[in-house]
Structures are given as C-alpha cells and as structure tokens.
Amino acid sequence: MAATIVRSPKLSLSLPTPESTTSNLPSLNRSFFTPLPKRRRCISIYACTADDQSNSAFGGEIKKGQAIELNKVNDENPYEFNAKDSPNPLPRPLTSADLSNMAPEGSRLRVAYQGVRGAYSESAAEKAYPNCEAVPCEQFDTAFEAAERWLVDRAVLPIENSLGGSIHRNYDLLLRHRLHIVGEVKLAIRHCLLANNGVKIEDLKRVLSHPQALAQCENTLTKLGLVREAVDDTAGAAKYIAFSKLKDAGAVASLAASRIYGLNVLAQDIQDDSDNVTRFLMLAREPIIPRTDKPFKTSVVFSLDEGPGVLFKALAVFAMRNINLTKIESRPLQKQALKVLEDSVDGFPKYFPYLFYVDFEASMADQRAQNALGHLKEFATFLRVLGSYPSDSGIA
C-alpha cells in the first residue's frame, strides 16, 4: 500500500499567453522566437499533458487524456490566496490556489522549484542562483505559473536524468507557458537511506521514495529485502517518515533532507550507478542576449508534415553546418492525432503527429544557427526557439 501525502485543493488554471519578449534583441531574427505564420500552420498545435508517471521524474499528478491548446486565451477565472500561515515551521509548497497578486518580498532573487525542502531540485536552484530565496512549489505547473505571474523571478526544473531519461511533463509545459530557457545546471544525485532516531537497518520493513529513486537503488533495496512504496518526491518521503514517526519504514532521499527533518543516515550513496546526474533548466520571463564568447546551447521545438525522409531533412540542416545535436525528444500531438482517423484502417491512424524538441551546441548569435533555423523554417509546420543559453559543463 503506497503512502500518500495530503494535498491542498487545486484550481485548474487557464493562463493568457504573454506578449513576445524579444523586442530587446535587435541583432537576432525575431521570427525564430515566434510560431510560423498561420498559412504554414495547417492545424492547431496541442501539447499533451498525459504521461506515464514512471517517465515523469520528480513527481506530479497527471490526469490521463488531458490536453491543452497552446494559444488559448482565457482570463475569466479569479484567483484567491489563502493567507493563513501553516502551523508547520517549514515553508508550505505553493499550490495553484496560491497564485494570486501577492508580491515578492525583499531584494533576494526568488527561485521556484518543485517539491519540499530538502528536494534535489532545491539544491539545483541554489547551485544555479547562489544566495537565492528558494520557493517550494507543489507541482511543476505551479512553478511555471509562479514565474509567469511575477511571484518569483526564476524557476529551476528538471528536464532529464542520466538513468531515468526525459521528464516528459516539463517538455509539455515548456510549450504551454511562455517562459524562456536562460541556463542549465547539472546535479549529481546521491541517494541516502534515512530513518528516525533509534531505528536500525534491520528494523526496516519498507522504504518510501519517488519511483525513480527507488529504481535507481534497486540492488541495495533488494539485498535489504525492503518493500518499496512510491510517493511524490524524495524529500516528501523523508518528511512523511519524520512527521509520522515511523519505526518500520525508511526513506530514500538526499543528505540535505536528513538534516532538515532530523533523520539518521543509515547508508550513503546507495544508488546502483554512480553516474546519476539530473539536468535542470533555468527559466525566466525574458530571454537573455546570446553571445559567442563562451559555449552556448540552443533549444528549439518544431513539427513536420508526414512524409518519407522529412525528419532526416530537418536534422540535416544542422549536420550540413557542422552543428552538434546534444538531445532530441519527440512528444505526441494528442488532439491532432484524431484528425488522421478518416484515412485510417480499422479505426487506427496511419501515423501519429509529433513535436520534436532539439538541443544543439551553438548560440543564436552564431550565423550558422540562424541559417540552420532559417532552412528548417522552410518546411517545418511549427517552429519555436525555447532559449539560447550558456552550457553547464560542471557537475556538483
């Protein structure tokens, strides 16, 4: 039986699409930062929010079959902020219901992350922005919305893990929200086995953590003969163990979580593979000015018409200019898939249309990158630059 953490009621938010923020980039071709003209967009573009939880690292509840229209504008719903202070001395994670007109306090940079205190995402936020005020958010969506609504200055969210792969939920949210990638940070994930004071390893019967953390410690947990129970996030598991004063259960979480919640570290570095790194994106309301005096990455998303060799042609625009691709990810356009049923056999579509996310090693200030995207724009049905930002070559 999986342990659960009680959540505050959530509002379903429909956000207005902010105006373009590229007016301060005179040296760039601004068309790269906007979708193509309507004549090139034969269909409405949708981002699917449905996902398998095993592929959505670091938690978040996902409603099956839900899809969000990218350009939908709806500002009719008012939002109210519950100003009652939590009895818990630790900061309560923001929920969708908290997103109101509250103003940032003080002059420190406020950075949103998903999870509770002690989460790996909090460490990534502090690495990306030293001395910042890290603001915990209950869901990935909440962190995006907090940055978009000026409640925080930045958001730092995971996008991929070297063992668990891509965090699909955040790929979809990059299209739903008009935030720009302004940097990346890589964090080594080192798991610890935590328990309450006085509890020994031999006393444990079960262990709680995020599904990916449990999978990353498979060998160790199997040797200990522990029953695995999945919860929303690693730090949340530590918090639950501590607040419930459990004597037969432990948590797989960070060393920082053990200090925050007063838990003992029964074992350190229990992950099966030491090469366990998560890449986080740094998000802001406005893009940064691309440069060529340091290594830069650029992230784009595009869609293509169906046809033989179309994807090959799209990737060739980078290869022929000697631009290295570091990541390619495809995400289905769920609603659009229904439009091809008329030409299907036995009710199944001939093909499923996709969005393609690509990261490449070049700055948008580099003429090669602008030429490559200009070439891609000739046959892509949709193209958007998500950000051009400094590469992170260090791991902490």
**Catalytic residue set:** 278, 280
Classify the C-alpha dihedral 59-61-65-70 as positive or negative: negative
186 within 8 A of 280, measured Cβ to Cβ = yes
302 within 8 A of 314, measured Cβ to Cβ = yes
331 within 8 A of 171, measured Cβ to Cβ = yes
Three-point CA angle 26, 27, 31, nearest 5°: 75
Count of C-beta atoms within a 10 Å radius of residue 269: 13
What is the C-alpha to C-alpha distance for residues 90 and 116, in angstroms, rounded to an integer?
9
115 within 8 A of 233, measured Cβ to Cβ = yes
What residues contact 78, with CB distance under 8 A and at least 6 apart? none
Q: Which two tokens stand for residue 110?
A: 């406020």
What CA–CA distances, in Å, run from 306 to 37, 150, 160, 310, 380? 19, 40, 28, 7, 11
Classify the C-alpha dihedral 137-143-145-146 as positive or negative: positive
- In the block, which residue shows the tokens 């040296």? 27
